[in-house]
Amino acid sequence: MILKQIPEDFIVEEIPKISKSKLGSYFYYKLKKTNYNTEKIIQLLCKKHNLPRKYFSYAGNKDKIAITTQYISVKQEIPELKTEGFEIKKIGRGKNPISLGDLNGNRFIITVRDITKKPFEKSEFINYFGEQRFGKHNVEIGIAILKKDFKKASSLIDYFFVQEHLKQKPNDYVGAIQKVPFKILKIYIHAVQSYFWNKVAKQIVVDEIPLIAFDTDFENSEIEKAYDKILLEEKLLLRDFVIRQFHNLTPHGTIRKRITKVKDLKIGNLENDELNKKNKKIKVEFVLNKGSYATVFIKFLFSQI
């Protein structure tokens, strides 16, 4: 099975949750992109319009090797733009910025390649966080920040302004990390929480599992023991999730359902795979709730997890 062999194989459309207002101070845009991750485009727009990163926000980072449609808010009107790889169109304005999680779900049209048979329909799956949540070094960076090993964290962060800061102030690791947009810093910490959650979800069958934080209230002793074991292995304590060096970066405990539903599932017919001529391809369409991963569902659908 091959996923995302070409961007056209993975089409995602955000189902927005936006309240428009004629007098709002935030401007809303539809962003359609191909072979770009969301943050890269935001950085390009910041540079092009000479605006600070904090002026831009969105509900979630979308896959790079894909054709995706999502919505962003900007605290200043910017021109519509169409260029190679992406386009943005103004859809209105409102009183509030679009924040992380401000969507009703995502609609997917995915072409699965290099297969030999059609899968059986499945209506639910274990709500694991997908690999894109973890990136190349996200978990490692997040754990380094939690351990207050800011030297290691800054050495792993692939962000231009971090290394530029360290050239000027070689030992100011906290200052260097503070150059990273806050939304990205949160991704590093969330990656750790998600990585640990996946480990617990593989071991324990319950309806809901908390994402660990300093204030996590463990109502299930089995879950608490599982997290204690993980923390011991990683040489972490619950209090390490308090990060005083970075304002508002300390995460709070939340609950995530272990099982999630699939809606509007349509599985097409097997077709000849022009990119993998010995095997077949198939188109799968469905809707997932926000925070659930299509790659995880597809792997489950084809019994690879």
Domain ranges of the chain: 7-122+262-301, 131-257
What is the model's pLDDT at position 34?
Answer: 96
* Cβ 159 vs Cβ 39: under 8 Å: no
What is the model's pLDDT at position 60?
Answer: 85
What is the model's pLDDT at position 23?
Answer: 87
On whether the 7-122+262-301 domain is CATH 3.30.420.40, my answer is no
What is the model's pLDDT at position 305?
Answer: 60
- Whether 215 is catalytic is no
From the list 9, 63, 102, 273, the catalytic residue is 63
Q: Show Cβ contacts of residue 164 under 8 Å, excluding neighbours closer than 6 positions.
A: 179
* Cβ 44 vs Cβ 88: under 8 Å: no
CA separation for the pair 191, 175 (Å, rounded): 22
For residue 124, the SS3 value is: strand
* Cβ 200 vs Cβ 226: under 8 Å: yes
Residue ranges in the chain whose pLDDT is less than 70: 304-305
CA separation for the pair 96, 178 (Å, rounded): 25
